[in-house]
Amino acid sequence: MTQASAAATTTDTADTYDMAMTVATLDDLFNAPAVNPFVDSDLRAIGEPALHRVVRELQVHKLGDKRRVRLTLRVPASQLTPERGSAQVTQAIHRYCDAKINDNELAIRIAREHARRQLIIASITSAVVLAVAYLLYISVLSQAGQPIQVVVFGSASVYVWVVMWDTLEELIFDPIPYAQENRSLRRLRAAEIVVQPIATSAAAPDGQGRDSSAISA
């Protein structure tokens, strides 16, 4: 696999959030390059696709952030052809965003359906445990001391709380990361994409370049 020299820089302004990525090949926008910690770029050091970094950077923003995103892609001129020009790169990024959004929405639906089924089971078992505890209270434990009654009802309450909490956590909180990623993907899809041809040597595919990866949030 061709190794990418991918450096990310960001610029913060009042109404625009500018990001810039330098890649050695267009494929490194979507696919992870080989891990190479001997180069300057942090994206190569951890083998991270360029667009994956872009989405993660956007996830740091506040929910109310309405700034326009401008993504500048610095690509070796040799990588750009009539079949893979600026318009095609933009379309490919849009297709990537659409596919990822659909995949995340499917994951959310699966997680919620699984949680609903667990909630039904948890509700039934909790009702049974509470019913048994109540029957014990009015029969066997009616003559027992208060400490024993407290232990039995306390144990039943803890069981119900644990079972219900795990299920509600899966139903409410587990989909949140997918929803946050989709929000960033939609911002990326609506972003202005600028493809900037550069000299092949500037991308330093052999890892000898001096691109830095200073990222400021």
Q: Quick count: other Cβ atoms within 10 Å of Cβ 86?
A: 15
Contacts of 113 (CB under 8 A, 6+ apart): none
Query: What single-letter amino acid sits at 173?
Result: F
- In terms of Cα–Cα distance, which of 92, 68, 88, 91 is closest to 80? 88
Confidence of residue 12 (pLDDT cuts 50, 70, 90): low
Confidence of residue 44 (pLDDT cuts 50, 70, 90): low
Cα–Cα dist 86/53, whole Å: 20
The answer to whether 121 touches 166, Cβ cutoff 8 Å, is no
**CA distances, 182 to each of 21, 104, 176, 179, 196 (Å):** 21, 7, 10, 5, 26
Statement: residue 170 has pLDDT above 60: yes
Statement: residue 14 has pLDDT above 80: no
